[in-house]
Amino acid sequence: MPVHNADIAAIFEEIADLLEIEAANRFRILAYRKAARILSELPQDVRALLKQGFDLTQLPGIGEDLASKIIEIVSTGSCSLLQRLRSELPPAITELLHVPGLGPKRVKALYHHLDVQTVEQLHRAARDGCIRNLPGFGEKTELNILKAVEAHASQSRRFKLATAAQYAESLVAYLQKSPNINHVVVAGSFRRMRETVGDLDILATSSAPDAVMQHFTAYDEIAEVFATGSTRATVTLKCGLQVDLRVVDDTSYGAALHYFTGSKAHNIAIRRIAQKLGLKVSEYGVFRADKSIAGETEESVYRAVGLPYISPELREDRGEIEAARAGRLPKLVEMADLKGDLHAHTKATDGHDSLRDMALAAQKMGFEYLAITEHSRRLTIAHGLDPERLLRQCDEIDRLNSELSGITLLKGIEVDILEDGSLDLPDKVLGRLDLVVGAVHSKFDLSRIKQTERIIRAMEHPHFTLLAHPTGRLLEKRAPYDADMLGILRQAKNRGCFLELNAHPERLDLLDTYCQMAKEEGVLISINSDAHSCYEFSNLRYGVGQARRGWLEKEDVLNTRTLVELRTLIKSTM
Ligand code: DGT
Ligand code: CA
Ligand code: CA
């Protein structure tokens, strides 16, 4: 069975979760989590690396033991440690972990104190008010759990964009091997760069669709074929991801691509415009009476209904059609516009690579600058910096900057915003830095008013530059904390501060609609990797995707500025 990096990462995450429920050693748990993160971000396929004889212990965070587990997983498709841990705990407990807001710590408490083993039991316990009395829970948490369970039940499983990308890329590579396929492209929400996708919608063009179908259904990662016709098929991959394939003629490529890219709401709006013009739009083309007048390219489809081309990320029927008609479509930011990154960690705290390696990796991305922003002392789990260690790092950065050419390291910190809105390091120390990134890492459940006040107070601080991952949400794991984003944006505007769009695939925080709000309020957004290793700069593409969904242009993004321009902009907050 073929094993992708995402599969190994998922196994390691589950091992870490189960170890945590079993109250295993904290460092052992952390080692599995780190390895999972490294693997899910590694641009090369581990399978291929092993085939080339690559020594996995060369990877950050991977020692002998983890390397042998990876080899076991790649060669057998499973891991004996995971099997053992699963057999020691009730079978449904892993599903409990997928309820947003329930981490392993809470699952452990629920299991040990209330014998909650399934989502149904969790629902009952929350509804009957049994959870509020557990140490560390309370009434508000109980209510949140109840809401989360109810939302969870009505939701089908979605895949994070970056995870889906791993499966999509190998499937597309496989399809491209067929001599009968001309174009092949992943459409649907994947092409619109939604943060999660429900399934993959793959479009191919061919004059021999039967042969394409045969090739597709022979793919060795398919678990089940649901439906096949001569031009369409629906299958499920072994990882659980569903794939729809459609095959059309080259002359319908643009129309089909438009149709299957969606969104449905955008398509409906376009069809309505077409109807008014006496036209019919379908996946086969644009028709007047029975005569096809467009459809070979997407541009031709839009032209036929009197519109300029609209980028997939905008196609949500959120005003893009009106903007297109008025000639006001944004010229969306692109990866190549980024000139630096303002949020990264090194092995001084919970990152994996040295200052020098991070600088060189950023330079390879074509960047002019990289801000090093370690955690502050309050975050003990990440080995956060106290003033002394931070100042030592500043000296090291000075030394490295005088030695390196073409890339500048900026001195920063990802300082904890404490419950009362004060910052976790003294002013005197913060004043020595190029920029101060503030972040909420605790007390996620404050009331809306208190949470908003906390963040606004932090921004009042004279050295505050940038609010990291502004809503705190983790996709499918932790809901955003409750805060008034408009109020925060207005404070940022007043103070000349900025907000981050954290590009980590689990965060993608700021949300697209808030990006739009930031743009309207005139607050610049910094698209940052939050890289903990050299490999993670490649995540920036997901951040750029999210920014494009939020209508952001080059001018709306802080780190499209040159170093000189950036220094002027961030100085004014100091
Ligand atoms: P997902 O998979 O939930 O992340 O979201 P999508 O947008 O990929 O939705 P999906 O897979 O159900 O359908 C793919 C595209 O096919 C969708 O974006 C637009 C098109 N489509 C699906 N159903 C309809 C429909 O009833 N009418 C129209 N006009 N288009 C549809
Ligand atoms: Ca889809
Ligand atoms: Ca679909």
Which alpha helices (H) appear in 310-437, and where do they start and end? 320-325, 355-364, 387-403, 427-430
Tell me, yes or no, whether 483 and 348 share the same domain.
yes
Q: For residue 66, report the phi and psi dihedrals to the nearest 5 degrees.
A: -65, -35
Tell me, yes or no, whether 519 and 388 share the same domain.
yes
Residue 572 is predicted with a pLDDT of 56
Q: Which ligand is nearest to the CA of 262?
A: 1
Domain contains 554: yes
Probe residue for ligand 1, chosen from 260, 261, 266 as the CB with the greatest number of ligand atoms within 8 Å: 260
Domain boundary among 325, 345, 362: 325
Domain contains 266: yes
Tell me, yes or no, whether 292 and 388 share the same domain.
no
Domain contains 358: yes
Residues in CB range of 524: below 8 A, 6 or more apart: 498, 518, 556, 557, 558, 569
Tell me, yes or no, whether 195 and 247 share the same domain.
yes
- DSSP 8-class letter at 59: S
**Is there an atom of ligand 1 within 6 Å of 201 CB?**
yes
Residue 1 is predicted with a pLDDT of 61
Residue 574 is predicted with a pLDDT of 43
Which alpha helices (H) appear in 431-511, and where do they start and end? 448-460, 485-495
Cα distance between residue 83 and residue 65, in whole Å? 17
Helix (H, G, I), strand (E, B) or coil at 294: strand
Domain boundary among 304, 325, 346: 325
Smallest CA separation from ligand 1 atom 28, residue? 264
CATH number at residue 219: 3.30.460.10
Tell me, yes or no, whether 195 and 266 share the same domain.
yes
**Is there an atom of ligand 1 within 6 Å of 257 CB?**
no
Tokens linked to 116: 């909650």
Evaluate whether 212 touches 204 at the Cβ level (below 8 Å): yes
CATH number at residue 469: 3.20.20.140
Domain contains 432: yes
Tell me, yes or no, whether 148 and 233 share the same domain.
no
Longest Cα–Cα distance in the chain = 76
Domain contains 330: no
128: number of Cβ within 10 Å? 9
Q: For residue 379, report the phi and psi dihedrals to the nearest 5 degrees.
A: -85, 75
Residue 466 is predicted with a pLDDT of 97
- DSSP 8-class letter at 318: S
- Of 86, 85, 82, 90, nearest to 112 by C-alpha is 90
Residues in CB range of 175: below 8 A, 6 or more apart: 181, 184, 202, 204, 212, 215, 216
Domain contains 540: yes
**Is there an atom of ligand 1 within 6 Å of 197 CB?**
yes
Domain boundary among 301, 325, 349: 325
Residue 136 is predicted with a pLDDT of 86
**Is there an atom of ligand 1 within 6 Å of 274 CB?**
no
Residue 207 is predicted with a pLDDT of 95
Domain contains 77: yes
Q: Which atom from ligand 1 is nearest to the alpha carbon of 188?
A: 8
Number of domains in the chain: 3
Evaluate whether 393 touches 348 at the Cβ level (below 8 Å): yes
Smallest CA separation from ligand 1 atom 25, residue? 264
Residue 524 is predicted with a pLDDT of 98
Helix (H, G, I), strand (E, B) or coil at 441: coil
Angstrom CA distances, 540 to 14, 115, 170, 304, 365, stand at: 26, 42, 21, 35, 10
For every one of its 574 residues, what pLDDT tens digit does the chain have, with 9 covering 90 and above?
Answer: 678 999 999 999 999 999 988 888 989 999 999 999 999 888 889 999 999 999 999 998 899 999 999 999 999 988 999 999 988 888 778 888 888 888 888 998 999 899 898 888 999 999 999 999 998 899 999 999 998 888 877 667 899 999 999 999 999 999 999 999 999 999 999 999 999 999 999 999 999 999 999 999 999 999 999 888 889 999 999 999 999 999 999 999 999 999 999 999 999 999 999 999 999 999 999 999 999 999 999 999 999 999 999 999 999 999 999 999 999 999 999 999 999 999 999 999 989 999 999 999 999 999 999 999 999 998 888 889 999 999 999 999 999 999 999 999 999 999 999 999 999 999 999 999 999 999 999 999 999 999 999 999 999 999 999 999 999 999 988 889 999 999 999 999 999 999 999 999 999 999 999 999 999 999 999 999 999 999 999 999 999 999 999 999 999 999 999 999 999 999 854 4
**Is there an atom of ligand 1 within 6 Å of 103 CB?**
no
Smallest CA separation from ligand 1 atom 3, residue? 198
**Could you list which residues have their CB under 5 Å from ion ligand 3?**
199, 201, 244
Tell me, yes or no, whether 405 and 552 share the same domain.
yes
Tell me, yes or no, whether 453 and 524 share the same domain.
yes
Tell me, yes or no, whether 237 and 306 share the same domain.
yes
Evaluate whether 466 touches 493 at the Cβ level (below 8 Å): no
Probe residue for ligand 1, chosen from 264, 270, 271, 475 as the CB with the greatest number of ligand atoms within 8 Å: 264
512 by Cβ neighbours in 10 Å (0-12 / 13-18 / 19+) ranks as buried
**Is there an atom of ligand 1 within 6 Å of 268 CB?**
yes
Per-residue DSSP letters for 186-251?
Answer: E-HHHHTT-SEESEEEEEEE-S-HHHHHHHHHT-TTEEEEEEE-SSEEEEEETTS-EEEEEEE-GG
Q: Which ligand is nearest to the CA of 196?
A: 1
Tell me, yes or no, whether 195 and 136 share the same domain.
no
Residue with tokens 């508000």: 140
Question: Range of 80's domain?
Answer: 5-154
**Is there an atom of ligand 1 within 6 Å of 518 CB?**
no
Tell me, yes or no, whether 376 and 499 share the same domain.
yes
SS (H, E, C) 20-40: HHCCCCHHHHHHHHHHHHHHH
**Is there an atom of ligand 1 within 6 Å of 267 CB?**
yes
**Is there an atom of ligand 1 within 6 Å of 199 CB?**
yes
Domain contains 83: yes
- Of 74, 142, 84, 88, nearest to 117 by C-alpha is 88
CATH number at residue 48: 1.10.150.110
Q: Which atom from ligand 1 is nearest to the alpha carbon of 199?
A: 2
Smallest CA separation from ligand 1 atom 9, residue? 188
Query: Do the bridges between strand 242-248 and strand 280-282 make them parallel or antiparallel, or are there none, so unpaired?
Result: unpaired
Tokens linked to 76: 């057998």
Question: 183 alpha carbon to ligand 1 midpoint, in Å?
Answer: 20
Tell me, yes or no, whether 438 and 529 share the same domain.
yes
